[in-house]
Amino acid sequence: MSDPPKGPRVILEDDQPQIAPRLDFGWDQAVVPVVPPNPPSRWSGFGRAAAGVVVLGLGLGALEAANFTAAQFTRGAVQGWLTLGVVVAGFGLIASAGWAELRGLLSIRAVDRARAAFARGDLEAARSEALRWAGGMAEAAPLQPALRQVGSIAELRALLEAGPLAGLETQANALGRAAAVQAFAVTAISPSPGLDALVFAWRGVRLVRQVAALHGLRPGLAGTVALLRRTVFDAAAVAATDIAVDAAARALLSNKLLEQFAGEAAAGALAARRMLRLARVAAEACRITPPR
Amino acid sequence: MASLTDPLGLLRDAAMGAEQLGRGLLGQERIRLAVTGLTRAGKTVFLTSLLANLLAAGQGRRTLPALEAAAGGRLRGVRLVPAGIESLPRFDVAAHLAALAADPPAWPGRTEDLSTLELTLEVERRSWLGGLLGSRSITLELLDYPGEWLLDLPMLSQDFAEWSAATLQRLRRGPRAEAARDFLAFVDALPAGTPDDEALARRGFILYRDALRHCRDRLGLRFLQPGRVLNPGPRGEAPILWFFPLPHPEGSGLAMLLARRHAAYVADQRDNFFEPYFRRFQRQAVLVDVLGALHAGQEAFEDTAEALAAIAAALRYGGSWLDRLTGAGVDRAAFVATKADHVPGRQRDALAALLGALVAAPQNRAEGAGAATAVHAIAAIRCTEDDVVTLEGRPVAAVRGVLLRDGRSARIYPGEVPLRPPEPGFWDHGFFEMPEFQPPRLDAQGVSGVPHLGLDSLLAWLIGDLL
Ligand SMILES: Nc1nc2c(ncn2[C@@H]2O[C@H](COP(=O)(O)OP(=O)(O)O)[C@@H](O)[C@H]2O)c(=O)[nH]1
Ligand SMILES: [Mg+2]
């Protein structure tokens, strides 16, 4: 084998037209997402154990009930039918509660889907989520024709944020203020810090549910937990809202009457601030557009 | 640069270390990625491609599969951090992309000023339990700057006399002596104790500047100081630059004047460039145009190696007990051969191997300080496809691309890329300059990123562990 030719060189292609088209690697097509990114969500050991307990409880309960109903029928038709009625009513209630829970969770998932679509810049998905959302909201329903016509994600987002979302935010803040005043009052007069905490927790949960309902969500128990989780742990959102909350708290508490309490009511002021913040962060968590 | 004699710097380090720890706990890390490279190494193009492809990946495009894999598919979004109150210009990705996509296309012009941009990667947490805490965000800080300025880094530790001696010694070597003939004749004629005559100073400066320009533009040399003489930046030439090396650097008169300018220049570069941007960084990408250096001849090749070694010696990699205490130091440094699309696929490994030999000194330096290092060959924007040409009766692997200057298609045989710094005989064929190519067809909005080679593996190695 001989040595390869020494030295680099340029070989012009004379048979080619003078101006060659630019290279095209078909890159745009090559990078189109095939499946929407869907993270594998893992079941933790605890989750599996809990599911097992539920299956055992409900399953064995159902078998037991079936056996018992069959036995009652051997005793007599009346007892049989009565037992069946009781069993069906009982399990029906459980099932309907489960269904409500599921719907609550699904409605929160829908918020996630909408946000993901906005974050991805996927106009079509974001539009259809926005339309579905607007369909279920009295405030947003008139916006539907306009939503159908927008040409870009930014436009869609601006339309939602300027219209219904701004209104919702005001209402959520009003709910927050009401809860804040109550929390302040309760902590100011309550005899023990333990009771404060209890009242605060109860009022907080109610506030989050109120805000969710405002946004067209029907959070059940699981949904509320999911929302609370987001509300309490979304550090970034909390930091962003702190400034706004500061101003709101000052406006709310710079009241002659309340200032009388100032000394012993420091805890009350804190509780009020927390409520205001909770309302804002909960509203943030329920919005169908991602935080900026 | 960090030492017990610099208590303020130490304090700053400690404060930043603490801040970083706090941010890490909150899941809001900030990582500074220092992209270092000599002039024309491809820094601006690299940053443009990195930003375009990361932003596209944030929109779900599969532009960076290896990085996605390193992130376990948990990358949820990528955003540019909105402008705040920075006094530096923002790195204008959109404008660079538009120019590259335009017809006729244009590469970014010579970088004349600093510019920065920050990018936030939104990443889902690994476990279900971690999900309770919400997603994590990693902010990447990026900086673009004129490559010439990097060579001022080794000047920080020299006084005027030391710098003069080292610079003149280098200038009298090989082809530089020819390029700097007029300047050398001029300074050699200056006796010790020359009075500080403004006309003399100007004359010397102009001769020195012309010599440096000749070395950079026609000889492909890079170890040229001071950097701002070659690239004065947005404010243009100022008296602070009007100094040059003297054979008799001590004493009063002209030597004193030049020494004062030298000191002021070094202080200015330290305060406005190195201290704010290169004192602390966690990840580093050292970009090298290996093929360009190889084709520019033995002198340029060795000069590039020397320049990279001098820069690395002056950078702070951490590793001392003090750095550990304050949490300073570089975790990972990647050495990157850019423009890998200039060689056919089969030769890219050789390119990386040659780079490994070229950067042996900087690599040792980084590893000695405890940083992990790796060598990559990438093309930030892929402009060619592989092809075959017949030369001297035998087929050889080549690349085909469209030439920037006249829009004609050409096949280019880049020569055999040696695995090691080659023997002197290798350079017999003389100076060759790789023509510039047109970038491929791009979409101007940049929604799909830009075609690249190996950028994803590089990023996966550099920042994959953070995701
Ligand atoms: N073919 C090819 N050329 C490149 C690539 N990156 C840079 N270049 C060329 O190198 C030149 C200098 O790049 P630039 O980023 O401005 O270098 P800087 O001085 O380090 O900022 C560009 O004008 C391009 O012609 C690449 O990935 N592929
Ligand atoms: Mg540049």
If asked whether residues B304 and B447 sit together in one domain, one would say yes
Q: Where does the pLDDT of residue A42 fall: very low under 50, low under 70, confident under 90, or very high at 90 and above?
A: low
* pLDDT for A256 beyond 60: no
If asked whether residues B144 and B15 sit together in one domain, one would say yes
Helix residue spans in A123-234 (DSSP H): 123-135, 144-149, 153-162, 164-189, 193-214, 221-233
If asked whether residues B34 and B137 sit together in one domain, one would say yes
Contact of B161 with B192, CB cutoff 8 Å? no
Of the residues B234, B252, B272, which one is the last residue of a structural domain?
A: B272
* pLDDT for A242 beyond 70: no
Ligand 1 binding pocket mutation candidate from B45, B286, B436 (most atoms within 8 A of CB): B45
B423: Cβ–Cβ under 8 A, 6 or more apart, which residues? Answer: none
Q: Do A23 and B385 touch (CB under 8 A)?
A: yes
The Cα–Cα gap between B370 and B410 comes to 45
In tens digits, chain B (467 residues) has pLDDT values of 444 566 766 676 666 666 666 666 666 688 889 899 999 999 999 999 999 999 999 888 889 999 989 988 888 888 888 888 888 899 999 999 999 999 889 999 999 999 999 999 988 876 555 544 556 788 999 999 999 999 999 999 999 999 999 999 999 998 899 999 999 999 999 988 889 888 999 999 999 999 999 999 888 899 999 999 999 988 888 999 999 999 999 888 899 999 999 999 999 999 988 888 888 888 999 999 999 999 888 889 999 999 999 998 888 787 666 666 666 678 899 999 999 999 999 999 999 999 999 999 999 989 988 889 999 999 999 999 999 988 888 888 999 999 998 888 899 998 888 888 888 888 877 778 888 999 999 887 778 899 999 999 999 999 988 88
CB atoms within 10 A of CB B365: 21
Of the residues B227, B253, B272, which one is the last residue of a structural domain?
A: B272
DSSP annotation of B244: -
Identify which of B181, B171, B220 has the alpha carbon closest to the alpha carbon of residue B427. B220
The Cα–Cα gap between B448 and B442 comes to 9
Exposed e or buried b for every residue in B402-438, given b needs 16+ CB within 10 A? bbbeebbbbbbbbbbbeeeebeeebbeeeebebeebb
Contact B436 CB / ligand 1 (< 6 Å): yes
CA distances from A226 to A44, A105, A112, A199, A233 (A): 16, 8, 12, 21, 11
Contact B39 CB / ligand 1 (< 6 Å): yes
Task: Write down the ipTM of this complex.
Answer: 0.74
The pTM of the whole model exceeds 0.80: no
Q: List the single residue in B with minimal CA-CA distance to A45.
A: B128
Residue B454 has a pLDDT of 94
Pairs of CB atoms within 8 A across A/B: 142
Ligand 1 centroid – CA B48 distance (Å): 10
Residue B100 has a pLDDT of 93
B174: enclosing H helix or E strand: helix B174-179
Exposed e or buried b for every residue in A162-188, given b needs 16+ CB within 10 A? ebbbeebbebbbebbbebbbbbbbbbb
Phi, psi of B254 (to 5 degrees): -55, -45
Question: Is B132 inside a domain boundary?
Answer: yes
Contact B417 CB / ligand 1 (< 6 Å): no
Count of domains forming chain B: 2
Residue with tokens 């594998």: A40
Q: Where does the pLDDT of residue A44 fall: very low under 50, low under 70, confident under 90, or very high at 90 and above?
A: low
Q: Do A233 and B134 touch (CB under 8 A)?
A: yes
> Quick one: tokens of B108?
């970014």
Q: Do B428 and A6 touch (CB under 8 A)?
A: yes
Cβ–Cβ contact B74 with A under 8 A: yes
CB atoms within 10 A of CB A230: 21
The Cα–Cα gap between B295 and A179 comes to 74
Q: For the sheet with B409-413, list strands across it.
A: A9-12, B409-413, B394-402, B384-391
If asked whether residues B266 and B182 sit together in one domain, one would say yes
Residue with tokens 């991602």: A290
Question: Is B29 inside a domain boundary?
Answer: yes
Write the residue in A37, A39, A235 that is nearest to B134 by C-beta: A235
Report the nearest-CA residue for atom 8 of ligand 1: B42
Contact B37 CB / ligand 1 (< 6 Å): yes
Amino acid letter at B408? R
If asked whether residues B300 and B257 sit together in one domain, one would say no
Write the residue in A16, A37, A234 that is nearest to B60 by C-beta: A37
* pLDDT for A239 beyond 50: no
> Quick one: tokens of B3?
């030492």
Residue B205 has a pLDDT of 95
Residue B49 has a pLDDT of 95
B321: Cβ–Cβ under 8 A, 6 or more apart, which residues? Answer: none
Contact of B171 with B180, CB cutoff 8 Å? yes
* pLDDT for A91 beyond 90: no
Contact of B141 with B30, CB cutoff 8 Å? yes
Helix residue spans in B220-347 (DSSP H): 227-230, 254-269, 275-278, 290-295, 298-314, 321-326
If asked whether residues B26 and B98 sit together in one domain, one would say yes
Phi, psi of B59 (to 5 degrees): -90, 10
Contact of B2 with B316, CB cutoff 8 Å? yes
Domain at B361, CATH number: 3.40.50
Residue B269 has a pLDDT of 92
A205 or A240, greater pLDDT: A205
Question: Average pLDDT in the A159-179 region?
Answer: 87
Upper half-sphere CA count for residue A199 (Cβ side, 13 Å) = 21
Question: Is B27 inside a domain boundary?
Answer: yes
Angle (CA) A36-A41-A46 rounded to 5° is: 170
If asked whether residues B358 and B446 sit together in one domain, one would say yes
If asked whether residues B309 and B452 sit together in one domain, one would say yes
Contact B440 CB / ligand 1 (< 6 Å): no
If asked whether residues B372 and B338 sit together in one domain, one would say yes
Identify which of B301, B415, B463, B404 has the alpha carbon closest to the alpha carbon of residue B45. B404
The Cα–Cα gap between B38 and A44 comes to 50
Ligand 2 centroid – CA B142 distance (Å): 13
Of the residues B253, B272, B291, which one is the last residue of a structural domain?
A: B272
Identify which of A147, A58, A38 has the alpha carbon closest to the alpha carbon of residue B72. A38
Question: Is B140 inside a domain boundary?
Answer: yes
Residue with tokens 């539907």: A144
Residue A49 has a pLDDT of 85
If asked whether residues B347 and B447 sit together in one domain, one would say yes
Q: Where does the pLDDT of residue A236 fall: very low under 50, low under 70, confident under 90, or very high at 90 and above?
A: very low
If asked whether residues B91 and B114 sit together in one domain, one would say yes
Q: Which domain holds residue B18?
A: 7-149+280-382+442-466
Residue B65 has a pLDDT of 92
* pLDDT for A180 beyond 90: no
Q: For the sheet with B75-80, list strands across it.
A: B75-80, B115-123, B136-144, B30-37, B283-288, B332-337, B372-377
